[in-house]
Structure 1
Amino acid sequence: MNCPRCHSIPRISQNNGNMIISCAVKELAEKMVEFLNRHQLAFQREDSRTLYVKIVNFKTIIDQLCHEHFTSAVQREGITVLFLDNGEKLTAEKIKYIKTLQQYYDLIKAQKLISLIDNHALTTYFQPIVDIPNNSIYGYETLCRGVDDDNSLISPSLLFEWARQADMLFYLDRECREMSLKTAAVKNIRAKVFINFIPTAIYDPHHCLQSTVKWANQLEFDPKNIIFEVTESERVEDIDHLKDILDYYKSQGFMIALDDIGSGYSSLNMVAKLQPDVIKVDRELIKDIHENSMNQSVFCAINQIAKDNGTLVLAEGVEKSEELRFCAEHGADLAQGYYFGRPNGEPLRKL
C-alpha cells in the first residue's frame, strides 16, 4: 500500500481549468448560478444540482466562493468540488480529490501552517525527565512551537488546531517528529528523547513513518534512546491499529511511552494490550497527591500493574517537593514537571 499523504502537503491549485460542482440541494445550485453569472463565468448545467464551470485561477475562485458568497459553514458543507486542469480528463482516480467547499475553506485558513511546514519554521523545546533513584537526567520530552515571521512563538495547541481544521495532522505531526530528532542531534543529546506522535494521523506505519525512521538512523541515534510517546490516546478508537504502529516502532528498536494514564476508564486496558516501556501518570492524579487519598490509591494500583509487567512509571506534572516525595516513596521511576524545569530551547544538562 502506498499512502499519497506521505508525499505532498495538500494545496489549492492556481491553474486554469474546469470545476465540477455538485450541490446537495437545488437552492444551493441556484445560489451557485447566481455567483457564476455575477462573475461572468462560463458554465453548463449537467442536471439540477451539478454544474461544469470553466475558470481562470482555481484558488481565486475558491477564495471568492468561500468568503463572498457562501459564508455559512452549513452551505459550504453542502457543496462538493472537483478541479481538473485544462486538458485533464475525469477518471476514477480523480474522485479521491473531491473536497467540500468547507474543506477548501479550512485549507485556505491553514496557509500559515503550510508556510511554517514548507519553511521548516518550527523550533523544539526540551523538558527534562528525571531518574528519581539516581537524581539525574534520564531524558527530555521534545515539544515543538511555530516561529512566526516576527520571531514570536506560536503555541503547539494553536498549530494542532489549525492542522485539525485543515485535515493536516499527518503533515504537522511528521514535521514535529523530524524536527525533534534533528534538534536533539544538533544539541548533542545522548540521553533518552521522548518524541510525541498522534496515532490517528498515521495510516500505514510502514509508509507513514519511514521518513522519521530514516532520520533517526541517518542522525545515528541509538534506537533505544528514542521513546515515541502516544498523545491523544483518548481519541484512539482502533486499538489494533495503534498496536500495529507501536509494533512497527518496536521492530525498529525504539521504545514506547503512553501518556495520560489514569485519566480515562480505558487507559489501563490500553496498557495491558499495548505493553509500553514507559507509562506517564496523568498530571491530574499527581497534583497534590500527597493530600488526596483517592489519587494515592489509583497511583499505587497503576504502579503495581507497571511493576508486575516490567514497565517504567513516570509521574507527570510534578510541581511540589511533597508530590515528588510521595511518588518516589511509592515506586515511581521517573518524574517530569515544572519542579525540575520548564520546556526550554536549551536542554537542562544536570540537576
Structure 2
Amino acid sequence: MAQVGCEGCRSGAEDFRLAMAFQPIVDVETGRAFAYEALVRGPAGESAGEVIGGVTPASRYAFDQQCRVAAIEQAVAAGILDTDARLSINFLPNAVYSPVACIQLTLKTARATGLPTDRLIFEFTENEEMVDTDHVATIIDAYRRLGFATALDDFGAGHAGLGLLARLQTDLVKLDMELIRGIDASLPRRMIVEGIMRMMQGLDITVIAEGVETEAEFAALAALGVRYQQGFLFARPGLRSLPAILMPANAARHAA
C-alpha cells in the first residue's frame, strides 16, 4: 500500500518538470569528485527559488519525490556511473511520512538506472524548521540501515547548531558558507572550524566545506584538514551535466 502511495505521488496531477544542476564536492587530495550535489532547477534552468516558490504544503511530498527521481535519472544520464562519485540529494524531512514507504520510489529509480544505492547521500538543512526532531532521527536511522549516507547541510547557520547534531548524528556535515567566507583572513572563523574538525573527528563524521570561492579560502581550509570542499572555485553547477573540476594551481602543495 505504501509503495502505491509513492507511485501515486509520482504520477499525480502536479508535475514540477524539474531539471537538476550538478556541482562537485571535491576531494582536494585527489582532485576528483567525492560526490555531486543535485541542485533543483526549472526545465529551462530557472532558479531554485523560482521552483521552490511554487511548492505548497499540499504538494511538498510530490515535489520531494520528484526531486529524488530527477536527481538520479539525470545524474545517470550525465555519466555519473562512469565515475566513482556519489550522488547527494537534498530532501525535505517534513515531507517524509514513513521513511521505508517513502523511499520505495527512490529505490526503484536507482535499480532501474543501475545506480548503486550505497552511492546515495541525502542532505537536509539545519535551517529547515524541524516539526518533529525524533521523526528526523528515525529517518536518519532508517536510511543508514538501507545503506544510504546522510548529511546535515548549512551547519553553523541555524538556531539549533550543536544541540541538533547531538540528537541527529549524520554521516557528514556541510559547513555553512558564512563560516567559510574570508576564513583565510579571519582568526575567529579558523578557530571555529578547527574546533568543529576536532569534534567531528571524535564523532567519526566527515566534514565538507561549501561555498569555497577563492584560492585563499581553499588553502586555509586545507591547512585545517578539510579534505572535501565545494564551491565556485572548483566548478559552477552544470545543468543536466557533470562539470569539469578546476583545481587551484597550488592544490598539490596543500594536499601533500
| TM-score, normalisation: structure 2 | 0.86
2:31 maps to 135
Secondary structure, counterpart of 1:237 in structure 2: coil
Are the equivalent residues in 2 in contact too, given 1:160–1:169 (CA < 8 A)? Answer: no
2:146 maps to 252
**Which deviates more from structure 2 when the two are superposed, residues 228-237 or residues 153-162?**
228-237
Tell me, in whole angstroms, the C-alpha distance in 2 between the residues paired with 1:132 and 1:311: 18
Tell me, in whole angstroms, the C-alpha distance in 2 between the residues paired with 1:270 and 1:3: 31
Give how far 1:2 is off. 4.8
1:208 maps to 102
Secondary structure, counterpart of 2:128 in structure 1: helix
Tell me, in whole angstroms, the C-alpha distance in 1 between the residues paired with 2:47 and 2:195: 35
Tell me, in whole angstroms, the C-alpha distance in 2 between the residues paired with 1:155 and 1:232: 21
1:76 maps to none
Q: 1:348 aligns with which of 243, 246, 253?
A: 243
Q: 1:296 aligns with which of 170, 174, 190?
A: 190
| TM-score, normalisation: structure 1 | 0.64
Are residue 182 (structure 1) and residue 79 (structure 2) matched? no
Tell me, in whole angstroms, the C-alpha distance in 2 between the residues paired with 1:157 and 1:221: 28
Are the equivalent residues in 1 in contact too, given 2:209–2:229 (CA < 8 A)? Answer: yes
Q: 1:270 aligns with which of 146, 164, 175?
A: 164
Which structure has more relative contact order (CA 8 Å, sep 6+)? It is 2
2:251 maps to none
Are residue 237 (structure 1) and residue 131 (structure 2) matched? yes
Tell me, in whole angstroms, the C-alpha distance in 1 between the residues paired with 2:234 and 2:62: 32
Quick one: structure 1 residues 257 and 237, their matched pair in 2 at CA, closer, same or farther if it must change by over 3 Å?
A: same
Question: In the TM superposition, what whole-angstrom CA distance separates every residue of 1:223-274 from its partner, at most 9, and x where no partner exists?
Answer: 2211111135431131110011111211111111110111134222222322
Are residue 158 (structure 1) and residue 50 (structure 2) matched? yes
CA RMSD of aligned residues (A): 2.1
Are the equivalent residues in 2 in contact too, given 1:180–1:195 (CA < 8 A)? Answer: yes
Which residues of structure 1 form unaligned runs of 5+? 12-113
Tell me, in whole angstroms, the C-alpha distance in 1 between the residues paired with 2:106 and 2:229: 27
Are the equivalent residues in 2 in contact too, given 1:258–1:276 (CA < 8 A)? Answer: yes
Equivalent residues, number? 240
User: Amino acid of the residue matched to residue 202 of structure 2?
Assistant: D
Task: Using the aligned pairs only, state the percent identity.
Answer: 33
Give how far 1:342 is off. 0.7
Give how far 1:134 is off. 2.1
Tell me, in whole angstroms, the C-alpha distance in 1 between the residues paired with 2:238 and 2:225: 28
Tell me, in whole angstroms, the C-alpha distance in 1 between the residues paired with 2:38 and 2:237: 8
1:145 maps to 41
Are residue 125 (structure 1) and residue 21 (structure 2) matched? yes
Question: In the TM superposition, what whole-angstrom CA distance separates every residue of 1:280-312 from its partner, at most 9, and x where no partner exists?
Answer: 000011000111222222211211111111111
Quick one: structure 1 residues 3 and 188, their matched pair in 2 at CA, closer, same or farther if it must change by over 3 Å?
A: closer
Give how far 1:218 is off. 2.9
Give how far 1:324 is off. 0.7
Quick one: structure 1 residues 10 and 126, their matched pair in 2 at CA, closer, same or farther if it must change by over 3 Å?
A: closer
Tell me, in whole angstroms, the C-alpha distance in 2 between the residues paired with 1:146 and 1:232: 24
Quick one: structure 1 residues 237 and 225, their matched pair in 2 at CA, closer, same or farther if it must change by over 3 Å?
A: same
Which residues of structure 2 form unaligned runs of 5+? 247-256
Are the equivalent residues in 2 in contact too, given 1:198–1:232 (CA < 8 A)? Answer: no
Secondary structure, counterpart of 1:162 in structure 2: coil
Quick one: structure 1 residues 181 and 175, their matched pair in 2 at CA, closer, same or farther if it must change by over 3 Å?
A: same
Tell me, in whole angstroms, the C-alpha distance in 2 between the residues paired with 1:221 and 1:3: 20
Tell me, in whole angstroms, the C-alpha distance in 2 between the residues paired with 1:284 and 1:208: 33
Tell me, in whole angstroms, the C-alpha distance in 2 between the residues paired with 1:212 and 1:129: 22
Are the equivalent residues in 1 in contact too, given 2:79–2:242 (CA < 8 A)? Answer: no
